[in-house]
């Protein structure tokens, strides 16, 4: 974690039902010593950020940061906050898995693309719930497909297998479809693309 990038970020997250949460975030990009910088065409976080900012069409810069909301020390995931269009938060365990290679570059790119799908929902009355997750999964898939055609080393099938990692598998909840159904939806889409010769 780069100290000079450490910022204190105070948020009120209505969607999560937290009254006030204080999140200390450290931007990952620009941390040259971190092992997550890619090689052989793997997209780095700054590559992903550049793509995010190109794709979002917004004037503001989106940064990928480590998020420390309450509970995140055990929660493996990534998230955005309803009142914040400029950060994608990666939880410490997710970052650790990434550094250990359990979550691959392709998987992480999918997760980041998924979160951009959520940012596109910010401010919408219909936001939240399983349908937004499904939309964001497709959004993530399109995002990494784009990254692949930009020349980054992305394996689409490997990326979607994040939903089959034993550590990440979860049953359906009020907010999220089951991990297995998310995997199956994206696999169907990849099979369809393959049949269409994409
Ligand atoms: Zn999501």
- Evaluate if pTM is beyond 0.95: no
Find out whether 107 and 159 touch, Cβ atoms under 8 Å: yes
Question: Residue length, the chain?
Answer: 198
What's the gap in Å between 114 CA and the centre of ligand 1?
6
Instruction: Show pLDDT as tens, one digit a residue, over the chain (198 residues).
Output: 343 333 333 332 322 333 233 333 334 433 332 233 455 688 888 888 888 888 777 667 889 999 877 566 777 889 999 889 899 999 999 999 999 999 999 999 999 999 999 998 888 877 778 999 999 999 999 999 999 988 899 999 999 999 999 877 888 988 899 999 999 999 999 999 999 987
- Domain extent, residue 147, equals 3-195
Find out whether 63 and 87 touch, Cβ atoms under 8 Å: yes
> Using CA atoms, how far apart are residues 162 and 84, in angstroms rounded to an integer?
26
Query: How many domains does the chain fold into?
Result: 1
Q: Which pLDDT does position 44 carry in this prediction?
A: 84
Q: How many CB atoms lie within 10 A of CB 197?
A: 5
What's the gap in Å between 118 CA and the centre of ligand 1?
7
Q: Which pLDDT does position 40 carry in this prediction?
A: 66
β-bridge pairing 6-11 and 63-66? unpaired
What's the gap in Å between 81 CA and the centre of ligand 1?
11
What's the gap in Å between 196 CA and the centre of ligand 1?
28
> Using CA atoms, how far apart are residues 63 and 48, in angstroms rounded to an integer?
9
* H runs (alpha helix) in the chain: 45-56, 92-100, 105-119, 130-149, 156-160, 179-195
Q: Which pLDDT does position 143 carry in this prediction?
A: 94
Q: Which pLDDT does position 129 carry in this prediction?
A: 86
End-to-end CA distance of the chain: 39
DSSP letter string, 83-140: TEEEEEEE-HHHHHHHHHTSS-HHHHHHHHHHHHHHHTTTT-TT--SHHHHHHHHHHH
What's the gap in Å between 14 CA and the centre of ligand 1?
16
Q: Which pLDDT does position 19 carry in this prediction?
A: 29
What's the gap in Å between 136 CA and the centre of ligand 1?
6
Q: Which pLDDT does position 70 carry in this prediction?
A: 58
């Amino acid at each position: 974690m780069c100290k000079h990038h450490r910022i204190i970020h105070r948020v009120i997250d209505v969607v999560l039902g937290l009254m006030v949460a204080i999140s200390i975030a450290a931007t990952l990009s620009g941390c040259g010593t971190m092992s997550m910088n890619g090689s052989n065409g793997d997209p780095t976080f700054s590559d992903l950020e550049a793509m995010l900012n190109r794709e979002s069409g917004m004037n503001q810069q989106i940064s990928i940061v480590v998020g420390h909301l309450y509970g995140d020390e055990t929660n493996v995931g990534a998230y955005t906050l309803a009142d914040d269009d400029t950060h994608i938060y990666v939880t410490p365990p997710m970052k650790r898995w990434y550094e250990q290679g359990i979550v691959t570059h392709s998987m992480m790119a999918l997760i980041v693309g998924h979160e951009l799908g959520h940012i596109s929902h910010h401010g919408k009355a219909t936001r939240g719930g399983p349908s937004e997750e499904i939309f964001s999964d497709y959004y993530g898939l399109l995002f990494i497909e784009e990254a692949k055609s930009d020349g980054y080393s992305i394996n689409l099938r490997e990326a979607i297998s994040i939903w089959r990692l034993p550590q990440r598998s979860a049953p359906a909840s009020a907010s999220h479809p089951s991990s297995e159904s998310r995997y199956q939806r994206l696999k169907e889409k990849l099979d369809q693309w393959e049949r269409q010769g994409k």
